[in-house]
Copies of this chain bind each other. A is one copy, B any other.
């Protein structure tokens, strides 16, 4: 089969999650999250994170992000993020729509990570009380980032400290949460609320889920308004048990980390072997399951002509994404095809 590194959302559903769905498919269960499985999910996630959390399953990462932000930001609020943040570049204005028009304020940062200094500086000059400027309400970081880099715990803490000093909410877009967690090798609580994160878009779909990302709320004050925003957004499933089952299976016995570690290791190897080819170089450090490479345009054309699937960016950059259900043969094949394309 021709290699397909288009994205991790082309993947299958992990069999454990399908099995979990089948297991809860017994008799009636209360709707809209009032069922016993949803209650169990909240308990298990609280244990998993080491603190009381409220979990709201949603259909997509875009919904998780934009509705999280709707609970954080006023219509006249400002939300800080890195230039390349998915919420700013790739969600079709969902954050603006759900917040009622809040402003995303893009900031710089090396390796596609928001610079805590840039954030602190922006907050210092935010002109609070000036009615025609967006009022600081939230900051959002993506962990792992859109370019596959991973914030260190100190970097997260620095963003968290700046947010706390400014009295704004700290959101983490964790579309690839498990991939980052695997890289850092720490407890989930360490990467989130212990570093100041108030609310988390907890990705599951890209790493084995079917249709169940989730919003994990650490800051309980956000849960109530969020619950209303979700319902009127049409994001509160009636048959919630099937989302709860997926999410519980996903964190059970570290499944999420096993899957992410595999995808990460495929990416590491893919990046290492391709970057060793003449004329190829890494365009970003490989720290999760994304590989960004700079290649001659002619080679990119040849790969595309050969049917290889990947995302192409301006300036001779390609993005390759590895998956929990990917294998080493696909890597071998890709390396061989790239070598041929470069010849």
Contacts and interface: CB of A to CB of B under 8 A. Distances in A.
Contacts of A30: 6, 10
A316 to B, nearest CB: 15
A62 B234 CA distance: 5
Nearest to A323: B28
A160 to B, nearest CB: 26
Interface residues of A, number: 74
A18 to B, nearest CB: 6
A82 interface: no
Contact of A93 (B1, B9, B102): B102
Interface stretch (A130-138, A192-200, A284-292, A335-343): A130-138
B18 A22 contact: yes
Contact of A243 (B32, B91, B133, B211): B211
A46 interface: no
B4 A227 contact: no
A122 B30 CA distance: 27
A296 interface: no
A235 B59 contact: yes
Q: Lowest 5 CB-CB distances: which A-B pairs, in order?
A: A63-B234, A9-B238, A92-B232, A97-B101, A62-B234
Contact of A132 (B91, B97, B101): B91
B228 A211 contact: no
A125 interface: yes
Contact of A75 (B102, B232, B235): B232
A92 B134 contact: yes
Interface in A23-41: 25-32
From A66, A232, A237, A238, residue with most partner B Cβ within 10 Å: A232
A94 interface: yes
A63 to B, nearest CB: 3
Given A10-B30, A25-B12, A94 B232 contact: yes
A76 interface: yes
